[in-house]
């Protein structure tokens, strides 16, 4: 496996760019979010997991839960790609600042229904999401490959994804944005795509529950990929609280320390059936604060 460049130095550069972009985008308020370089983790959550997909009210709920930030959705659905609107972004940035809850990432879950491998709208949205992320002051754009967008075992789809990523990668590089692939693929399958694209702006968005569900050894996969190829993590369980499911989060913390990762960890899912989201996330954030303080 060939790594394009040292990711630690790259991450420093990206965070400086993202911080500057965020300050300028916030209308010159002179507010910099805390620099993550060499510091502790930031714990966020996906807006859809707290029941607020594309909802500006997610920031108030995130503050109540005690989260550092949110991974927010580019679109509510394929008919409402709301964050392409500058006025909507402005409102989200103002609310983020007001609640002191950072915009910790941008997600294109819409690609599960409008596949990047085949739909021209998806290709356009991915390109536009780079500028959106830069405007919002975040550095990672999650590209989802599930549902209709699944590429596991789809050689033709993978070839098209590689082709499209090659075209958009220079734009991401120029803005200091990382495109994170989240899919059912193994670590080695992800790396085949990344090496074919040949850009350090494309990395793996590692979801521990998804990979565990596929039967992959998540701890060895994380070690093998390393900090150089993992842009961010989803701390996730399906139908249970974090720490009460299949993922050993104590062991996960140790492995993350081994590879030297510092950055955002976004909580996804982790709500038991029939349980309330708010109370579930109070439990989830307590575990994450204990392990990643």
CB 35 within 8 A of CB 155: no
Nearest partner of 78 among 105, 31, 115, judged by Cα: 115
Q: Which pLDDT does position 34 carry in this prediction? A: 46
Cα–Cα dist 24/28, whole Å: 5
Extract the tokens encoding 156.
């033709």
Q: Walk me through the domains of the chain, giving residue ranges and CATH numbers.
A: 7-291 (3.20.20.150)
Q: Give per-10-residue mean pLDDT for the chain (293 aa).
A: 39 46 42 46 98 98 98 95 98 98 98 98 98 98 98 98 98 98 98 98 98 98 97 97 98 97 97 97 98 91
Cα–Cα dist 273/156, whole Å: 37
Cα–Cα dist 214/225, whole Å: 17
Cα–Cα dist 231/140, whole Å: 7
CA count, 13 A, side-chain hemisphere, 193: 33
Q: Which pLDDT does position 40 carry in this prediction? A: 77
Q: Which pLDDT does position 120 carry in this prediction? A: 98
Q: Which pLDDT does position 293 carry in this prediction? A: 82
């Amino acid at each position: 496996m060939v790594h394009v460049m040292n990711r630690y130095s790259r991450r420093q550069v990206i965070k400086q760019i993202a911080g500057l972009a965020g300050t300028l985008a916030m209308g010159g308020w002179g507010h910099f979010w805390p620099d993550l370089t060499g510091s502790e983790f930031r714990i966020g959550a996906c807006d859809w997991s707290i029941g607020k997909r594309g909802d500006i009210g997610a920031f108030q709920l995130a503050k109540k839960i005690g989260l550092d930030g949110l991974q927010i959705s580019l679109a509510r659905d394929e008919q409402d790609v709301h964050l392409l609107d500058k006025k909507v972004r402005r409102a989200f940035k103002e609310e983020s600042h007001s609640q002191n809850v950072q915009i910790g990432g941008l997600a294109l879950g819409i690609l599960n229904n409008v596949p990047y491998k085949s739909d021209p709208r998806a290709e356009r949205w991915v390109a536009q999401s780079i500028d959106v992320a830069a405007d919002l002051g975040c550095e990672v754009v999650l590209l989802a490959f599930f549902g209709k967008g699944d590429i596991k075992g789809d050689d033709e789809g993978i070839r098209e994804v590689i082709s499209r990523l090659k075209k958009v990668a220079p734009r991401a590089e120029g803005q200091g944005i990382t495109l994170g692939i989240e899919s059912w693929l193994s670590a080695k399958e992800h790396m085949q795509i990344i090496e074919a694209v040949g850009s350090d702006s494309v990395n793996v968005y590692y979801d521990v529950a998804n990979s565990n569900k596929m039967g992959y050894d998540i701890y060895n996969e994380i070690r093998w990929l390393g900090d150089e190829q993992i842009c961010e993590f989803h701390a996730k369980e399906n139908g249970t609280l974090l720490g009460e499911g299949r993922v050993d989060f104590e062991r996960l913390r140790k492995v993350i320390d081994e590879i030297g990762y510092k950055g955002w960890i976004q909580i996804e899912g982790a709500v038991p059936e029939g349980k309330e989201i708010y109370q579930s996330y109070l439990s989830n954030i307590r575990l994450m604060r204990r392990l990643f303080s």
